[in-house]
Amino acid sequence: MFTGIIAAVGGVREIKPAAGGVRVTIDAGALDCADVKIGDSIAVNGVCLTIVKLDAPRFAVDVSQETLSCTTGFAAQAKVNLEKSLRLADRLGGHPVSGHVDGVGTVARFEAVGDNRLLAVDAPRGLAKYIARKGAIAINGVSLTVNAVNGNLFEVNLIPHTLQATNLDALTVGAGVNLEIDMLARYAERLTEFKN
């Protein structure tokens, strides 16, 4: 479990083929790895992955073909948002994020609004029904509030701190982003299925 509050921006340093996927070595950047060990979970661009090798400040994770098929951001030299898993004593500053990415959206607009940026994302049709105005969404692992929804398109506002503390500042129109919908929407739908 994660909060969607990014601790550091790291970088993909190496990608090697592995059984059933790839092994990705990541430079942890400013992420404090003193309390991290092999087997721990870490969110990389919103994807919950298991550390399989640790040589601080670098660590390696295995990414399956299934994960690669429904996420983005694992290219060589890519900047990646990093967050260690939530401990029970931690503050929940964002919203509950599982690290199970639901799909990839496409940046439709990314424009300055004063010091902020307006980010509009075209969500996959199957996910759009779960995205609600003033609801929560994770984009590349970042907990954000949805400001507007129009069909498959939704908008969020990025404040200067978010732009500085995450990899969202480097987005361009047409880029893919990992989306995780609010888990409460999933449970609500499942409950409704049984009620009907």
Residue 189 lies in a domain: yes
CATH, residue 38: 2.40.30.20
Residue 75 lies in a domain: yes
Which pLDDT does position 196 carry in this prediction?
A: 61
Last residue of a domain, one of 52, 84, 116: 84
Residue 66 lies in a domain: yes
Same domain, 112 and 187: yes
Residue 3 lies in a domain: no
Same domain, 14 and 76: yes
Which pLDDT does position 114 carry in this prediction?
A: 96
| CA dist list (Å): 146 to 7, 25, 133, 134, 178 | 22, 32, 5, 5, 15
Residue 94 lies in a domain: no
Residue 175 lies in a domain: yes
Query: Residue 168 belongs to what domain range?
Result: 103-195
Instruction: State how many domains the chain has.
Output: 2
Same domain, 112 and 189: yes
For 142-163, how does the pLDDT look when each residue is reduced to its tens digit (9 = 90+)?
A: 999 999 999 999 999 999 999 9
Which pLDDT does position 101 carry in this prediction?
A: 96
- Residue 176, by phi and psi: left (phi above 0), alpha (psi -120 to 50) or beta? beta
Q: Given a cut of 80, is residue 182 above it in pLDDT?
A: yes
